[in-house]
Chain A
Amino acid sequence: GENVEQHPSTLSVQEGDSAVIKCTYSDSASNYFPWYKQELGKRPQLIIDIRSNVGEKKDQRIAVTLNKTAKHFSLHITETQPEDSAVYFCAASAPGNTGKLIFGQGTTLQVKP
């Protein structure tokens, strides 16, 4: 079945450094790749997404890159701040117009001041 692998499971950086989280997916028919941020005790919220016809997308300090040939995509956060500390989930759309997303296992990002 569909599978999304996410690495690393934990990531600790100094404030101001960059953070990179990587995901690989198994089904080449996946065409939508969102990233969600979940603060402690809160609900997951979308921070950025990318579709298969685009290789890169940026929104201020965050960016996502997609390599369809290799079936992997990455989240890049530059100039990290303590408020970036959270759990980040990548996801890939399941084949067919089901609306289903397959989530990675999550990355706990800690930004040290």
Chain B
Amino acid sequence: DAGITQSPRYKITETGRQVTLMCHQTWSHSYMFWYRQDLGHGLRLIYYSAAADITDKGEVPDGYVVSRSKTENFPLTLESATRSQTSVYFCASSVQGGNYEQYFGPGTRLTVT
């Protein structure tokens, strides 16, 4: 589990501000994912990446931007934060696509005031 980390763990920001959540994994996993977790909605996929420089939208991508210039990093940026983006954000990685376990990071609790 120590192989995938997220920072910051807690963040409070104001509406309209840009904020970036960081995700770093040390396993050289090909696939990385960003989810948000809200009560009653389970885990919803925001964006995912199959490899460096390859990203694709998930279920709820609006208002978010991702990049993946290096295999080990997958930052998530909220370009102009809104209150509806208050949530717990989890990053995950898997060795490859298909039927492989996703390993989750510890999460970032983001509050937008």
Interface residues of A (CB under 8 A from B): 1, 6, 31-32, 34, 42-46, 49, 51, 89, 93, 97-106
Contact = CB atoms under 8 A, between A and B. Distances in A.
A31 B107 CA distance: 27
Closest 5 CB pairs of A and B: A99-B97, A32-B99, A43-B104, A103-B43, A105-B42
B98 A97 contact: yes
24 contacts: A34-B101, A34-B102, A42-B106, A43-B105, A43-B106, A44-B43, A46-B102, A51-B99, A89-B42, A89-B43, A93-B98, A93-B99, A98-B50, A98-B56, A99-B31, A99-B48, A99-B98, A99-B102, A100-B48, A101-B45, A102-B45, A103-B42, A103-B44, A105-B40
Contacts of A102: 45
A68 to B, nearest CB: 14
Nearest to B31: A99
Nearest to B100: A99
B1 interface: yes
Nearest to A31: B99
Given A43-B1, A105-B40, A105-B42, A99 B101 contact: no
Contact of B101 (A46, A100, A104): A46
A1 B58 CA distance: 11
B35 to A, nearest CB: 8
A104 B99 contact: no
Contacts of B31: 99
Contacts of B90: 43-44
Given A98-B50, A105-B40, 7 more contacts: A44-B43, A44-B104, A46-B102, A93-B98, A98-B56, A99-B100, A104-B42
A99 B43 contact: no
A51 B99 CA distance: 8
Given A43-B1, A43-B104, A44-B90, A97 B97 contact: yes
